[in-house]
Amino acid sequence: MFDGAAPMTAIMPVTRAGHPDGDLWLNVNGEERQRDSLDSQIWSVSEIISRISQSVALRAGDLIMTGSPAGVDVLQPGDIVNAGIDGIGQLEMRVGQRP
């Protein structure tokens, strides 16, 4: 864990977003590094929630992070990252300098 880890868009409730079935993708400096279908997850969203809730109490607003598609790599200061989920939203950020 470190400052600026896990940037994300505003949280969108399922009542507004539905259950997306598009791709999760990530570009760095305009080059695609990651892309995969949400349908290719090992467990469905309901299975993930069920398994986690057996160990910890989940409350409204909790976030569950499940990992990402192949293509993870090092980011450099100044890199511009654009990521999103089809039909849901996207974010863009510039990687900052290390202190």
Q: Give residue 33's domain range.
A: 19-95
CATH of the domain at 70: 3.90.850.10
Average pLDDT over residues 88-95: 91
Q: Is 4 among the domain residues?
A: no
Q: Is 14 among the domain residues?
A: no
Domains identified in the chain, total number: 1
Element (H, E) at 23: strand 23-28
Radius of gyration, CA atoms only, the chain: 15
Residue 88 in tokens: 């849901």
* pTM recorded for the entire structure: 0.79
Alpha-carbon distance of 49 to 43, in angstroms, equals 10
Q: Determine the Cα angle at 63 with ends 84 and 22, to 5°.
A: 30
Task: Output the pLDDT for position 66.
Answer: 85
pLDDT digits (tens, 9 = 90+) for 2-59: 677 788 888 888 888 888 888 999 999 999 999 999 888 888 888 999 999 999 999 9
Alpha-carbon distance of 70 to 44, in angstroms, equals 18
